[in-house]
């Protein structure tokens, strides 16, 4: 399994950011947009059930299993954090 990092968001994961935002907006049609720095947990865009479904979708998108032993809730606070942690090299795969 590729190593997970905390690299900052770069142009290489723009497609990944779009995937995250599009996915979340389909689950939350009451929202018009999602700021990449919005706290997804505090704002309840992502709740416990939504998190499980999102994690599965993220694994499908990246083609990688995400071990819950290697992540923390902080990794899922914002779109930018998710992209930096899990999608930094997806465009290069």
Cα separation of 50 and 3, whole Å? 25
Cα separation of 37 and 49, whole Å? 21
Q: What are the structural domain ranges in the chain?
A: 11-92
Threshold 0.75, pTM exceeds: yes
Domain 11-92 classified CATH 2.60.120.260?
no
Residue 2 DSSP class: P
Residue 37 DSSP class: T
Q: What is the pLDDT of residues 8-66, one digit of tens each?
A: 445 546 888 999 999 999 999 999 999 999 999 999 999 999 999 999 999 999 999 99
């Amino acid at each position: 399994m590729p190593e997970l990092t905390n690299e900052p968001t770069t142009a290489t994961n723009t497609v990944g950011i779009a995937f995250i935002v599009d996915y979340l907006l389909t689950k939350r049609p009451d929202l018009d947009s999602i700021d990449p720095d919005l706290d997804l947990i505090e704002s309840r865009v992502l709740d416990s059930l939504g998190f499980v479904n999102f994690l599965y979708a993220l694994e499908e998108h990246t083609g990688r299993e995400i071990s819950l032993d290697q992540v923390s809730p902080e990794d899922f606070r914002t779109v930018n954090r998710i992209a930096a942690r899990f999608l930094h090299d997806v465009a290069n795969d």
